[in-house]
Amino acid sequence: MADILVVLEVRDGALRKGAGELIAAARRIADGSVDALICSAASISGLDPLGVAGADRVLTATHADFATYCPDGIVATVASIASPYRAILVAGTATGKDLGPRIAARINAPCAMDITAIDASGNALKAVRPVYAGKALQTIELAGPAVIVMRPGAVAAAQHGRAGATSAVTVPPFTRRLTVAPVRTSERGSLDVAEARVVISGGRGLGDPKHFALLEELAAAFGGEAAVGASRAVVDAGWAEHGAQVGQTGKTVAPELYIAVGISGAIQHLAGMRTAKVIVAINRDKDAPIFKVADYGIVGDLFEVVPALTAAVKQARAH
Amino acid sequence: MKIAVCLRRVPDTTTKIVIAAGGKSIDEAGVKFVANPYDEYAIEAALTLKEGAGSGETTVIALGGDSVQETLRTALAIGIDRAVHLQGTPSPDGLANARVLADHLRGGNYDLILCGKLAVDDYGQQTGAMIAELLELPCATAITKLDVSGGQASVEREVEGGVESATCALPAVFTCDKGLNNPRLPSLKGIMAAKKKPLDVIAVSPGNGGVTVISLAVPLERAAGRIVGEGAAAVPALMQALVSEAKVI
Ligand SMILES: Cc1cc2nc3c(=O)[nH]c(=O)nc-3n(C[C@H](O)[C@H](O)[C@H](O)COP(=O)(O)OP(=O)(O)OC[C@H]3O[C@@H](n4cnc5c(N)ncnc54)[C@H](O)[C@@H]3O)c2cc1C
Ligand SMILES: Nc1ncnc2c1ncn2[C@@H]1O[C@H](COP(=O)(O)O)[C@@H](O)[C@H]1O
């Protein structure tokens, strides 16, 4: 289906994760070319992987205001090149969710948020999205050009081996209405539950905020691939930051591995993690609802199970 | 300070979702409807800012059928000064709705337009940013902190792995996230007063826009998993499953 534009996310002068996924999603619906737009303050090196991932062209737009997130400038740039594209894809991060609707309103196109599947067979552009906190799935058809905001983790990156030739696009004049400061990285480090390959979440079963250390140790055993999340009960109690909350009023995560520790599995928590590839639950109550969605469960005291698991993961990864 | 809050009526989040005949919408029988939880943060922010400024007017605006008037009255009971019911059927295309809201807001001379970060029914996550774009106003979405002084606003929002702060001049549009404030509840006095506050009704027609709903379905349950064992003794079995079966370690 025609040509597709993907708008990639840049922070602190580097591409964010997820570019490959987004390009792979675009390839699924493109029968023409897939172009990847990068808006940055200076040129970014190491763009060859974008061609490998399936981008025919990499378009670079350079402007001093792009040193931090600059929605006004990005929207103006996208609008200036949008007309040939059947769809514009953005990743469903905090930034992408902010940007997508702005682009859509500027180019007078519908915006489909949190898309978990797209399809362009039969020339109609169709997309699937969770609604009602994931309690239902809506399938929609999008007329004309459309902005699609993809849920992270929905489509796996792939190797398509396209040219990925770079060309510059001109940033049109724009009014910067919002001035954004550089992101202040949180104390927990830069790995976010929404981006990590492995998420280990703790709930009220931990009994005390200091016991989050057990989960930090388990996360560390995964060697920088794991982030620690939390249920709302413990976020509200001040045991964990809101940024770590998984669920309906927190983040939606789709990691390869989700380990729920001392979490009962309330429907609002499930809304944020039920699309994880593999779910593990550790809970001393064999009837806890979390076991209904878990692929693997251990019934038992987390204070015994988690340290044993940490040791086992360390050992497995050492081999 | 003139502040507008866009308010949406949604099913209570604890509602069990049943798909209606036709397979495109939910069965509303027996469903309890409430103000969208994120809009409660917007209402609270509007009331606090007006109180801080010492003068001004707060307005709630809802697009929808006649039932939204009940939700608007709730906002008036919490303390909002006046309500506007844009009477019409919302479109499945968020842009069509944003346009109707923006057209109404355009003439209102508002210093601030506040929305929720998302509506917990359609999860559109777009209305506020679209209104801002249509009105050519500055905008920040999903804010968890808002300070207004001297015609300037500074905000904070959570992004992956950190916090982003931003500034802009008023008028501006913001969408509100959990963490911004603690919404107050309506008081008995407020409920009485709400009955006398103005609620204007204006007919609108958002039209269909570019989105057609093909189907609405309840997602497949995850295939039932298994309990690999009890206590620390079950860890080897779990590792075996994660390494050899699921291949995630
Ligand atoms: C509008 C709304 C939005 C919400 N949004 C969210 C959200 O985004 N995210 C979210 O998580 N929740 C959300 N909730 C709250 C949700 O309903 C639950 O209250 C919450 O998820 C419960 O947290 P929990 O599982 O940590 O605590 P609990 O339900 O108290 O569960 C604790 C679990 O720990 C187990 N346990 C205790 N001790 C041990 C031990 N030593 N070893 C092993 N297991 C042990 C217990 O058996 C129990 O199952 C929301 C609620 C509402 C109404
Ligand atoms: N029909 C509506 N009437 C008034 N405000 C709305 C309506 N739909 C959405 N909004 C506003 O836009 C926010 C986000 O909604 P959505 O973009 O649908 O997720 C809501 O929290 C409201 O503030």
| A261-276 per-position pLDDT tens digit | 999 999 999 999 998 9
The pLDDT of residue B60: 98
Q: What's the predicted TM-score (pTM) here?
A: 0.92
* Ligand 2 binding pocket mutation candidate from B97, B130, B175 (most atoms within 8 A of CB): B97
**Residue A174: pLDDT band with limits 50, 70, 90:** very high
Q: How far is B119 from chain A (nearest CA, A)?
A: 9
CA distance A213 to A203: 13
The pLDDT of residue A190: 63
Looking at all shown ligands, the one closest to residue B173's CA atom is: 2
Alpha carbon separation from A59 to A67, A202, B196 (Å, rounded):
17, 42, 58
Strand ranges in B25-111 using DSSP code E only, listed in sequence order: 33-35, 57-64, 82-87
Give the angle A261-A157-A275 at the CA atoms, nearest 5°. Answer: 30
How far does residue B3's CA lie from ligand 2's centre (Å)?
A: 16
How far does residue A306's CA lie from ligand 1's centre (Å)?
A: 18
pLDDT tens figures, A188-216: 666 899 989 999 999 999 999 999 999 99
pLDDT tens figures, B48-58: 999 999 999 99
Looking at all shown ligands, the one closest to residue A283's CA atom is: 1
Looking at all shown ligands, the one closest to residue B71's CA atom is: 2
> Could you tell me the two tokens for B44?
């609270």
Contact predicate A62/A84, CB 8 Å: no
pLDDT tens figures, B85-105: 999 999 999 999 999 999 999
Assign 3-state DSSP to chain B and report helix, strand, coil percentages, each to 5: 30, 35, 40
The pLDDT of residue A188: 61
Q: How many residues does chain A have?
A: 319
The pLDDT of residue A82: 97
Q: Which residue of B has its CA nearest to A292?
A: B224
Q: How many residues does chain B have?
A: 249
> Is the backbone peptide bond immediately before B186 cis, with ω within 30 degrees of 0?
no
pLDDT at A1 over 60: no
pLDDT at A122 over 90: no
Portion 111-150 of A in contact with B at CB < 8 A: 111-114, 126, 129-144, 146, 149
Q: How far is A240 from chain B (nearest CA, A)?
A: 13
Which of A9, A232, A296, A314 to substitute to test the interface with B, most B CBs within 10 Å?
A: A296
Residues in Cβ contact with B188 at an 8 Å cutoff, skipping those fewer than 6 apart: none
Q: Greater confidence, A319 or B129?
A: B129
* Ligand 2 binding pocket mutation candidate from B68, B103, B115, B134 (most atoms within 8 A of CB): B115
* Cβ A313 under 6 angstroms from ligand 1: no
User: In this structure, is the dihedral angle defined by the CA atoms of residues B77, B82, B88 and B91, taken in order, positive or negative?
Assistant: negative
Contact predicate B232/A305, CB 8 Å: yes
Contact predicate B68/B62, CB 8 Å: yes
Residues on chain A touching B19 (C-beta within 8 angstroms): 136
Average pLDDT rounded to a whole number, residues A17-35 = 95
* Cβ A261 under 6 angstroms from ligand 1: no
Q: Decide if A190 touches B, using CB distance below 8 A.
A: yes
Q: Which residue of B has its CA nearest to A97?
A: B125
Task: Name the closest-CA residue to atom 23, ligand 2.
Answer: B115
Contact predicate B39/B115, CB 8 Å: yes
Portion 28-87 of B in contact with A at CB < 8 A: 37
**B157–A94 C-beta distance less than 8 A:** yes
Per-residue pLDDT of chain B (249 residues; tens, 9 = 90+): 999 999 999 999 888 999 999 999 999 999 999 999 999 999 999 999 999 999 999 999 999 999 999 999 999 999 999 999 999 999 999 999 999 999 999 999 999 999 999 999 999 999 999 999 999 999 999 999 999 999 999 999 999 989 999 999 999 999 999 999 999 999 999 999 999 999 999 999 998 899 999 999 998 878 878 999 999 999 999 999 999 999 999
Q: Decide if B193 touches A, using CB distance below 8 A.
A: no
The pLDDT of residue A191: 84
Which of A236, A252, A295 to substitute to test the interface with B, most B CBs within 10 Å?
A: A295
Q: Decide if B151 touches A, using CB distance below 8 A.
A: no
Residues on chain A touching B132 (C-beta within 8 angstroms): 102
- Pairing state between β B2-6 and B9-11: unpaired
How far does residue B115's CA lie from ligand 2's centre (Å)?
A: 7
CA distance A243 to A186: 9
CA distance B229 to B193: 60
The residue whose two tokens read 């909002």 is B80
The pLDDT of residue A297: 98
Percent of chain A scored above 90 by pLDDT? 88
pLDDT at A303 over 50: yes
Residues on chain B touching A104 (C-beta within 8 angstroms): 95, 126, 130
> Could you tell me the two tokens for B115?
């929305």
> Could you tell me the two tokens for A266?
């309330």
> Could you tell me the two tokens for A307?
């340290």
Query: What count of other Cβ atoms lies within 10 Å of the Cβ of residue A165?
Result: 10
CA distance A19 to A2: 20
pLDDT at A34 over 80: yes
Q: Which residue of B has its CA nearest to A258?
A: B248
* Cβ A204 under 6 angstroms from ligand 1: yes
Contact predicate A307/A221, CB 8 Å: no
End-to-end CA distance of chain B: 56
ipTM for the complex?
0.93
Closest CA to B27 of B236, B202, B245, B218: B218
How far does residue A197's CA lie from ligand 2's centre (Å)?
A: 33
* Cβ B133 under 6 angstroms from ligand 2: no
Looking at all shown ligands, the one closest to residue B132's CA atom is: 2
Q: Which of A177, A192, A291 comes nearest B138 by C-beta? A: A177
DSSP B66-81: TTHHHHHHHHHHHT-S
The pLDDT of residue B49: 98
The pLDDT of residue A123: 79
Average pLDDT rounded to a whole number, residues A10-16 = 95
Which of A17, A72, A118, A178 to substitute to test the interface with B, most B CBs within 10 Å?
A: A178
CA distance A305 to A136: 34
pLDDT at A47 over 60: yes
Residue A234 burial by CB count (10 A; 0-12/13-18/19+): exposed, middle or buried? buried
